[in-house]
Structure 1
Amino acid sequence: MANKLTPGSNMRWESSRMILPEHREAWLTHQQDTTKVKKPILDEQRWLEFELILREAMEYNEPLLFTYWKNGSFFELTGYCHYVSHDQKQFHIVCTNDDVHYLKFDVVMNVERA
């Protein structure tokens, strides 16, 4: 008959199967850091495409889908571009539920029609 301490039994190590909360938090932050994406740099041609799409959407009051980068992740925002502030370098976007968002030029990664 085998008891808990015989070789081949896993019960010998059951007491050491524990993780401290500090280790768990460190492991989770490490996992989040490894999934982060570096911010891509857009070229001038891409900005010209954005300008054309924005101009047409503002003229005909069409919704746009903005993809922006924040803290290593990409997020999407759908709404109407109310105006473009060149002095503050940001877009004034009104969402479909009347929320107002301000997106800086340097975080916008893609603009397309919704």
Structure 2
Amino acid sequence: MGKKLIGNGIIESSRMILPEFRDAYLNEMREQERRGKPVLDEQEFQLIENILLESFHECTTVTLTVFNPFDDEVLRGVVTIIDKPNRKIKFVRSEEDYSWIQIEEIINASI
């Protein structure tokens, strides 16, 4: 109790933060962790497209790394549909689990 009355102790012990300010602060800290998308050269992009086509034609399992501003996603599955006009692929991980992925978001592919 004695410390609270010495110097600036009364003010220091009564600090509080509103939940709205806390959430805004945490959101700002998260935004500072955001990364930029890596730029792929033409050879890397061709390699990724060739692997996607091979998976589509031969139903082989591939591993894709999909860009995310905070943490990249590594997915393993088979390409079942290639939507050329929209530049998307349907990527099936299991019988019930699939997702549509933009081809531009893929930063790495391997068999």
Residue type matched to 1:15 in 2?
S
TM norm structure 2: 0.79
Percent of residue pairs bearing the same amino acid type:
26
* Alignment deviations for residues 20-63 of structure 1 (CA, whole Å, 9 cap, x no partner): 11211111111110111112222210111113322333344222
CA distance in 2, matches of 1:78, 1:110: 12
Equivalent residue number for residue 21 of structure 1:
19
SS of corresponding position for 1:62: coil
Inter-partner Cα distance in structure 1 for 2:84 and 2:56 = 15
CA distance in 2, matches of 1:97, 1:34: 38
Please give the residue correspondences for 1:50-65 in structure 2 after superposition, counting only pairs within 5 Å: 50-65=48-63
> What is the TM-score of this pair, normalised by structure 1?
0.77
2:34: which partner in 1? 36
Counterpart amino acid of residue 6 in structure 2: T
Runs of 4+ in 1 over 4 A off after TM superposition: none
Deviates more, 1:56-65 or 1:27-36: 56-65
Q: Which residue of 2 aligns with 1:5?
A: 5
Which is further off, 22-31 or 75-84? 75-84
Shift of 1:11: 4.9
Bigger fraction of residues in strand? 1
RMSD between aligned residues: 2.2
Q: Which runs of 5+ in 2 are unaligned?
A: none
C-alpha separation between the residues in 1 aligned to 2:6 and 2:110? 65
**TM superposition shift of 1:112:** 1.7
Q: Distance in 2 between matches of 1:48 and 1:109?
A: 11
